[in-house]
Amino acid sequence: MKRSKVWMLASILALGGMSMSTVGTPLLTVQAAEEATVAAKEYTTQGGIANMGSGTANITIKGNEGQTLVGKKFHVYKLFLAQNAQGMESINYTFNPTYEQALKNVAAKALSVPVDDVTEYMVIDYIQSLNS
């Protein structure tokens, strides 16, 4: 359970939810959160790529050696909004309002801090810590 949660959350940190590519997957279900509304959409892949039609970012999901992704479904959630800094030297992250409170609640509990003190970067650091 923890590993699948880590995989989902870590994948999201590629951020933007702009597009998604997969290797060897004929069908991909994408759950996209648009800023104010949550809409489930299903994308059929062609050549392992699901084009969501906005931007150039991508998330690649690869199976382990000998593991097929054919017939698997993946849910993608846009947890953060990402904006390149003017000089392109960094990316600024803000919470997607749809998931902000849930993310703050989880991170606050894990980090033992008050919910109101949780920032986007605290949540990102917490999510990344789940990989170790």
d(CA 78, CA 35): 9
The tokens for 13 are 């940190």
Q: Which of 132, 107, 110, 109 is nearest to 122 (CA)?
A: 107
Q: At what angle do helices 120-129 and 100-111 cross, to 10 degrees?
A: 60
pLDDT of residue 39: 60
Q: Is the pLDDT of residue 55 over 60?
A: yes
The model's pLDDT over 95-119, given as tens digits with 9 standing for 90+, comes to 999 999 999 999 999 999 999 999 9
Longest CA span, the chain: 46
Task: Say how many C-beta atoms besides its own lie within 10 A of residue 93's C-beta.
Answer: 19
